[in-house]
Amino acid sequence: MINVLSRTLTSMFWKKWLSDKSTDAPVSDSHSDLRAVVVSDVGCVRTNNEDAARFIRPADLGIRANKGFLAIVADGMGGHAAGEIASQLAVETIAKTYYSREESVEESLFLAFTKANRSIWQAASRNSQQRGMGTTCTALVVCDQSLYMAHVGDSRLYIFKNGQILQLSTDHTYVQMLVSQGVITPLEAEKHPERNVLTRAMGTHNKVEIDVETLTYKLENDDRVLLCTDGLYDYLSNDEIAQLMLIPALNESAQQLVESAKQRGGHDNITVLLLERVSNAVFQSPRPTEEIK
């Protein structure tokens, strides 16, 4: 389980997901697997980490064929450590709800995000110290080579393909709205004083608009995917992120991304979840960290 209060480097999967949902369906891409690394750091200024992240690799091949692998990153906000509660609640609820649903990948993601939003809202309503807490959340499902995204807020999803990095998510921020309307340029947005003002967040209202889509890009061999919080991209340009994603070892690439953001100031928590497709011949399965019955 990843709910990091200090620096952590982890490759992980969950050993068993909801055995009563198990099927015997084959995994179509039987010659490759996914490897993932999570690095989360409190940064150079903050005293607690309000980010949360998880990568889930179902051991059951039927579940993996139907619902795929799941990667989630969330960036909480709120006083009295409430942001930390909101982000962890989002990750926990989405992971469990997604794999418990029988609907399509897209519908299951939508229902999981909807339930997580309601859970955070209800928790904040019951506790005055948590009132107003919320979180960003970006989730990716990899099913064979197909990619599915659910997204609220300004945590980001990138794909690194053929030496180029592409941002697949759209920030739900005031500044991005200005860019979309043509009021300011993307270059002006990078230095805008209100660039971190969110227009959507999980848990701040009883209902939230959720971006859910089947992405046009496929995850092929030698591709990498990055999910991250704004503590990373606020300090590194896309080109700089791409250069660090060229580092061959996945764990070293993730570590260097975080270190580079810290060297630039690290005023926020920094979370990086990197994953790549690898051949079964070279894949070494990590130890399970949690069993769900």
What distance in Å separates the CA atoms of residue 79 and residue 46, rounded to the nearest whole number? 12
Hey, is 202 helix, strand or coil?
Answer: strand
What distance in Å separates the CA atoms of residue 229 and residue 138, rounded to the nearest whole number? 9
pLDDT values of the chain reduced to their tens digit, one per residue, 293 residues: 333 323 333 333 333 333 333 333 333 444 568 999 999 999 999 999 999 999 999 989 999 999 999 999 999 998 767 999 999 999 999 999 999 999 999 999 999 999 999 999 999 999 888 989 999 999 999 999 999 999 999 999 999 999 999 999 999 999 999 999 999 998 888 888 888 899 999 999 999 999 999 999 999 998 999 999 999 999 999 999 999 999 999 999 999 999 999 999 999 999 999 999 987 656 555 544 343 33
Question: Integer distance in angstroms from the first to the last C-alpha of the chain?
Answer: 15
Q: Which of 86, 76, 87, 81 is nearest to 198 (CA)?
A: 76
Q: Which fold has domain 8-168+199-279?
A: Phosphatase 2c; domain 1 (3.60.40)
Q: Determine the number of helices (DSSP H) and then strands (DSSP E) in the chain.
A: 8, 11
Domain ranges in the chain are 8-168+199-279
What distance in Å separates the CA atoms of residue 264 and residue 260, rounded to the nearest whole number? 6
